[in-house]
Amino acid sequence: MKPMRRGVLILPLSLVALACQMGPREPDPAQATKDPTPAKVATPEAPKVERLGATFDAAATQASLGDVAKDAKSYAGKTFVTTGTITAVCQHRGCWMEIKDDASEAHVKMAGHAFFVPRSAKGRKARVYGALVPSNAPEPSCGEHAARGEKGQGCKAEAEAQLGHPLAKLELEARGVELL
C-alpha cells in the first residue's frame, strides 16, 4: 500500500507546483481593445423650448431684424419669423418685450394680450412669429398702469425706462413666441 500513497501525494503536489510556475496570465492585447460594454457618451440635453401664443406657420418667411429694418415696407402687414435676444420685458404682465440681434432691435407686443411672456425672460433667446406694425400705431393700454393711477405711463414709457433709451423703431405684433 505504500507505493499507492506515494502516488496520491505526488500528483497533487505536482499540480500545485505547475500552477505556481505559470503565474498570472498577461492580458491578450487583442482582447484589451475589445470592450464588451460600449462606452457611455455624455450628451448635453437640448434646452427646453417654451411655446407661447399661436402655433408658428411652417411656411412663414424667416427674416433677421436687420433685414426687416432695411426693407420695412416689404414686411409691413406680413407675418414672418425672426429671432433675437430679449433685452427688456413688461414687469407688470409680460405683455411686451424688446428683442435685439446683431444688426437691429424691435419692440414686440403680444397680440391683443392673448398671451404673455414670463417677466424673467430677459437674456433668453426668442423666436417671434408676428407682423410688422406701424411704429406710430396707438398703444393699447394693458390696464395695469391705469389701475395703479399712472396716467400717461403706458407700456412704452416702462420699456424706455428699463432700456434707458427710446424704443426701437421696429414694432412687431407677436402671434406666437418661442423662448429658447
CB 50 within 8 A of CB 125: no
pLDDT tens string 54-88: 999 999 999 999 999 899 889 988 999 999 999 99
The domain limits of the chain are 50-179
- What does the pLDDT read at residue 46? 61
CA 166/CA 36 separation, integer angstroms: 64
pLDDT tens string 110-159: 988 899 999 999 999 999 999 998 865 555 555 554 555 544 456 666 76
With pLDDT > 70 as the criterion, what percentage of the chain qualifies?
A: 56
CA 68/CA 142 separation, integer angstroms: 27
CATH code of domain 50-179: 2.40.50.140
CA 177/CA 130 separation, integer angstroms: 9
